[in-house]
């Protein structure tokens, strides 16, 4: 009998295959509010089981799994406490990603189960379910609309430090955030630029949340919300436009609609900044590359868009009447700046 040398690729592949289990473990922790309980003080599995109405031995096994993921750590006398990463699962943390964990676990996971049908047909999960393609217009009617919006806000907050460090809106008097959702990005930008005015432009169901966030940031007097669809028009009310996570949602045809409407709303020489992921021209087995491509498949599964390379972004902007002036990395995102030609 020939004994082969250990092959690490088998274990690596098996770990990747079991990735859905990791998602489930983190989701259950967030759903039970474990991190929220540990913010107060370290607790034993016995205490946590009583507070969450769960089976003590089973919860202990969950907690120890989360220790191996670096989310919690087990201290003296079996008391569990938060790590820096675990703090992000606490709902009241300013850096919380709890809402996005719930989005992944309750909204996205089921759709990803239909990925093979999207690959076979090119259709989104909504199209396969017979809901059509106008998912954002119908978002207000979804029972989970509030959770989805909270998740998007949490994702924006997580990206803000890198985005704000990379952006430069000096000299901009009025900034228009096209598809600005609940105004989280605009609130942060207005805080950074106290003399700037801001406009959040999005569908009507975002109005109340956007106004609340802008007011909470102390920017209500310098900001307004305008309701409308960027497929129909964009308000000609600003000297610069920003779009975050908009271009990746849509196919090329619909992106051109959006960008051309933005072009019509700006004077010659005015600036547009698109914030999106950029897919490397040559992909490698790296964490950032994997993140970009998983997001790309999420767009296929979701609204039917895609993540694009830098050259693809430049081409879309060029066809819409813009000249790309620079591309600035900002964490896993990039700021793609362009001017009206």
In a domain, 216, yes or no: yes
CA distance 175 to 202: 14
CA distance 306 to 323: 21
43 & 174 share domain: no
> Is the pLDDT at 323 greater than 60, yes or no?
yes
What's the pTM?
0.90
> Is the pLDDT at 264 greater than 80, yes or no?
yes
The model's confidence at residue 318, banded by pLDDT at 50, 70 and 90, is very high
Q: How many residues does the chain have?
A: 341
What does the angle CA 283 – CA 284 – CA 290 come to, to the nearest 5 degrees? Answer: 80
169 & 297 share domain: yes
Phi-psi label, residue 196: left if phi above 0, alpha if psi -120 to 50, beta otherwise: beta
181 & 83 share domain: no
The model's confidence at residue 300, banded by pLDDT at 50, 70 and 90, is very high
197 & 70 share domain: no
What's 57's domain CATH number?
Answer: 1.10.10.10
In a domain, 314, yes or no: yes
In a domain, 153, yes or no: no
Q: Is 313 a catalytic residue?
A: no
In a domain, 102, yes or no: no
> Is the pLDDT at 4 greater than 70, yes or no?
no
332 & 230 share domain: yes
Burial of 51 (0-12, 13-18, 19+ CB in 10 A): middle
CA distance 312 to 331: 20
Strand partners, 323: 339
In a domain, 243, yes or no: yes
315 & 187 share domain: yes
Query: For residue range 268-279, what is the model confidence (pLDDT) as tens digits?
Result: 999 999 999 999
Residue in 20, 55, 205, 248 annotated catalytic: 248
- Contacts of residues 55-64 at CB distance under 8 Å and 24 or more positions apart, as own/partner, are 62/25, 62/28, 62/29, 63/34
219 & 316 share domain: yes
Helix, strand, coil share of the chain (percent; to 5): 50, 15, 30
Handedness of CA 137, 202, 235, 165 (dihedral sign): negative
> Is the pLDDT at 150 greater than 60, yes or no?
yes
Last residue of a domain, one of 68, 87, 106: 87
The model's confidence at residue 174, banded by pLDDT at 50, 70 and 90, is very high
Query: For residue range 235-246, what is the model confidence (pLDDT) as tens digits?
Result: 999 999 999 999
- Helix and strand numbers (H, E) in the chain are 16, 10
Q: Taking the C-alpha atoms of 6, 9, 10 and 13 in order, what is their torsion angle to the nearest 10 degrees? A: 160
Last residue of a domain, one of 66, 87, 108: 87
In a domain, 94, yes or no: no
Report the pLDDT value the prediction gives residue 94, as an integer from 0 to 100: 85
Report the pLDDT value the prediction gives residue 324, as an integer from 0 to 100: 98
When divided into structural domains, the chain yields a total of 2
What's 236's domain CATH number?
Answer: 3.40.50.150
219 & 302 share domain: yes
51 & 193 share domain: no
Phi then psi dihedrals of residue 88, to 5 deg: -70, -10
- Please give the mean pLDDT across all residues of the chain: 94
In the chain the first and final C-alpha atoms are separated, in Å, by 72
In a domain, 270, yes or no: yes
Last residue of a domain, one of 87, 104, 136: 87
Domain that holds residue 45: 10-87
Q: Starting from the edge strand earliest in sequence, which strands make up the sheet with 240-244, in order? A: 223-227, 197-202, 174-178, 240-244, 271-276, 333-340, 322-330
73 & 177 share domain: no
- Tell me the two tokens of residue 318: 């060029």
In a domain, 72, yes or no: yes
Report the pLDDT value the prediction gives residue 136, as an integer from 0 to 100: 65
Report the pLDDT value the prediction gives residue 7, as an integer from 0 to 100: 81
């Amino acid at each position: 009998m020939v004994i082969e040398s250990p092959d690490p690729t088998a274990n690596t592949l098996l770990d990747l295959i079991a990735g859905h289990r990791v998602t489930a473990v983190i989701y259950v922790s967030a759903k039970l509010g474990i991190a929220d309980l540990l913010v107060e003080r370290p607790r034993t599995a016995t205490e946590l089981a009583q507070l969450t109405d769960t089976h003590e031995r089973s919860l202990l096994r969950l907690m120890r799994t989360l220790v191996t993921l670096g989310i919690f750590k087990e201290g003296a006398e079996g008391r569990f406490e938060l790590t820096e990463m675990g703090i992000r699962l606490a709902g009241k943390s300013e850096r919380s990603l709890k809402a996005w964990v719930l989005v992944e676990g309750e909204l996205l996971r089921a759709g990803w189960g239909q990925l093979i049908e999207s690959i076979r047909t090119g259709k989104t999960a909504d199209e396969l379910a017979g809901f059509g393609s106008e998912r954002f217009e119908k978002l207000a009617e979804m029972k989970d609309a509030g959770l989805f919006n909270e998740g998007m806000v949490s994702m924006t907050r997580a990206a803000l430090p890198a985005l704000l460090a990379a952006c430069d809106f000096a000299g901009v008097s009025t900034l228009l955030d096209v598809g600005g959702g609940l105004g989280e990005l605009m609130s942060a930008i207005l805080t950074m630029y106290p003399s700037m005015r801001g406009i959040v432009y999005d569908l009507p169901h975002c109005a109340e949340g956007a106004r609340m966030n802008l007011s909470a940031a102390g920017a209500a007097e310098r900001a307004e919300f305008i309701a409308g669809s960027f497929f129909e028009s964009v308000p000609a009310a600003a000297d610069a436009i920003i779009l975050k996570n908009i271009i990746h949602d849509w196919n090329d045809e619909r992106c051109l609609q959006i960008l051309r409407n933005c072009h019509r709303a700006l004077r010659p020489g005015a600036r547009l900044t698109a914030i999106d992921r950029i897919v490397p021209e040559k992909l490698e087995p790296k964490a950032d590359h994997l993140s970009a491509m998983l997001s790309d498949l999420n767009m296929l599964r979701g609204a039917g868009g895609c993540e694009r390379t830098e050259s693809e972004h430049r081409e879309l902007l060029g066809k819409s009447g813009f000249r790309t002036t620079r591309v600035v990395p900002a964490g896993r995102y990039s700021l793609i700046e362009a001017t009206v030609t």
